[in-house]
Structure 1
Amino acid sequence: MPAKVRRRPRRCAHVRECGRRAELPRARRTRQHADSRRGRAAAPCPRGPLMEKPERLTHVEPIEALTARLERERMDADRSYNDALTAVPSLPKAPPAFDSSRVADLNRLWNTLPGGPPAVDRSLKGRLRSFVWRLVGPPFESQQRLNSAVVDHVNRNVAAHEETSRTLSVLLDATREQAAALVRFQSLLVQYFQTITAYVDSKDRSLGGSELRERLALTEQRLLALKRDVERSAPHAGAGLARVDSGEAPAPFGGAVDSLTYVAFEDCFRGLPDEIRGRVEDYVPILSAAGDVVDLGCGRGELLAALRARGVRARGVDVNPAMVELCRTQGLDAQHGDALSYLGKQGDESIGGLVAIQVVEHFAPAYLLKVLETAFHKMQAGAPLIIETINPACWMAYFETYLRDITHRQALHPETLRHLVQASGFTRVDVQFRQPVREMDQLRRLSAAAPELAGPLGQLAAVVNDHADKLNARLFSSMDYVVVGWR
């Protein structure tokens, strides 16, 4: 019975090719190795689609983070350049002064034989002294000559050593002064270079401005085309077009794309999140005892973040989807919707505190009344109500803040809003003014104590000051106010 022949499984072309090269005879492998040694490398095995390495995804750095990083790098480079330019090696201390305290002793004690050699005569003592001197005299005389030479050398170099010490001290002091002057000059040079750098940068921007404007115009056109495509493909596009066809104007910044525009508008004109977070900190003590706080028009979530930091449970609602998404990226509880619909979904007496910061000026009067009435029924007994808005009684606030935002619907006088809150059933309603106009922006008063304003001029100055006070109270009082009431 013939043996069964086992079929080898089929492999793809590039695997067969790789296997074929792996199974080459030894002689052929040796020849390939020699070719590679001579610089003729064998053709690599081609990779199939499944064997290719996936490309690494690059992280897109936000423009704000990129700008901040480039600015930090520029400042670090300027600091390093300044340190390197003004670095001066430390100079040694001045050498100690020449010690000449023992020179007088050397001059007094150098002569070890003040009487000279002993007298020699023909007596027994004289001959004995002569014999002893011949034995010990030469070393004494040699020491005498050495002492004389040393003392003479010291005496001749005392003045030179003292002058050298004084010269070194003066030279080091002068070097230190010149080094300090050099450091000051280099610092001024660095400041000059920084000025020149800013000038050159501005020139570069002006030279490239035309090209940049063309590219920005092209980008804007593409973004508008993208916006039209998004609005056409939105699930409620038909309803939106029906509202436009019926004559009802759509809400400004209501679309998914336009909502981002309003976030940028808030950043530019209302203030950065850190600045607003500092303002809303005043409301945290009032709400710290509340169990469940609702922030109507939570915006970028400054109050929600402050309450979370104090351990207060809070949630927010906003009609701007970009604002809601911004809150959610911070881990805050925020929902998309309007204030009245959101309050209507809550249970009666379930809300522990209600806040509306810079929101009610966006409401129509009938809508505002309905919100206040619904809020009264949905809040717990004793719960605080905080409503902050623009102060239209201050003309500067009205013209500089209220009219700037095209989404504002109704300016509310402080007494009007206080009355509406009281009429809705809230008690202990109080009005507190915030953000006073800076003194430098107010009308200045004349100094009545000035000597040149005596007599009739003094009376005129008093009248001018009285008018300035009245105008400041009407034009330049407080930019915002807050109404605080209790359920």
Structure 2
Amino acid sequence: METAEKREKSPKVDVASVMEEIRKEILEARKSEKDLPFTPLKTDFDGKEQKAGKLLNSEELRFLNRHHSYPLESYCPEELSSHRPLLGRLIVRLKRKFMAFLWDGVLKRYFESEREFNASLVRYLNEVSKYVDARDAFIFWELIRKLDVDITKALERIERVGDERLGDIVSSEKKIMRQINDLNERVVKINTLCKSLEQKVEEVDSATRGLERIISKIGGTGNSGKGSETHKEQAQDYTYLMLENRYRGSEEEIKDRMKFYLSYLKSAYNLHTLPVLDIGCGRGELLELLRENGIEGVGIDIDKAMVEMCRDKGLKVENADCLDYLMNLKDNSLSAVIALQVIEHLEVGKLKRLISLSIEKVRDGGAVIFETINTDSLVALGRNYFKDPTHVFPLHPDTMRFIMEGAGLKVKDVIPLSPFGKEASLQEIEVGDFATPRWSYAIELLNRNIRRLNSLLYGHQDYCIIGVVEKE
């Protein structure tokens, strides 16, 4: 009774105000100290891992819920008995009175208070367990949410920074690529200009050497005392030589190109060991090659200046028309007939007559070879064909094949010659490694059209057609 009265008289503790004071003290301590180490309290769980919800569902709490109330089955005064007949009844009655006094006066109130205390304690433990588990779950999911928010923000920031850096890299890459493209264009222009200058230098050199020969010829003729009409005639004769020196190319260059025909001419010469006739021999580059390779060669040309130039080199050359010269030859007296850049100077009737006479004069198994400007190349047609005023008509490869086969020649090969350099043609676009399929397809389609344009505009400048004489 006194204890209960003391409890009632003792002042009640305001838990909310106490917690508020504790929070204030913690905030003041944080303000005074910049860096407070955070060391979480470690709870000893006997080395066992504790999980959320384990406290509420623990065996200990379940045991308390089952056994917090004791029924006091041991207090049963009716079961008291004695084996003594008379004295035993008295003793049993006294025991019952004593037990009733002891129970009602002392123990009953104590045990009822104890049972109420145990029940209250168990209820409190249940509520605390529920609160702790709920709080753990709340903290856990709140922590998960916070981590998710922080990670999302961090990823967004990383992505934003990555986009900014990628944008800077792409911008720098585009700038560098523009500069590289500009440099490449300048390099291509410089290379083209250098090649053009080299070609011009070769033309000037060739023209200079041709002029030196012409001047020396004119000087020698003047000393011989010929009249002005002779000088005029010779000046006219040297006009085509000067044209060829300027635009045909240097003798060394043309000589190098003509090495291609040596294998065909050697085969024909070794078969019959008869001369090879070079129609329109010009400056004599092919005849020099034949002489260097042990092949007997004879040349003809209608230009007197060309004939004189060849004779100065010690070559066997006649100033004659091709048809007149062939008609005066014996049949089957030649191993081969070759005419390079000649047939475009002839009319169709004269061309057919040239082919028929060549068949008559070349022995069986010999070769008849023609070279002319390739009409499949528009640039070659515009630059090379129309540059020479003596050209009559361009000849397509199919047309030449038809005329030669119609005359009785077996056409062995039609070979394109003198390709344009890569820098002279249209350039294809490179497909980048990171191009999308749509852009890759568009670039490939454009490159396909560029290749078709290159074949049409910048095809091979010349072609040769090789015929074999079959008389038996």
Q: Which has the higher helix share?
A: 2
TM-score, normalising length: structure 2 = 0.49
Give me the TM-score of the superposition, normalised by structure 1: 0.48
- Specify the structure having the higher radius of gyration (Cα): 2
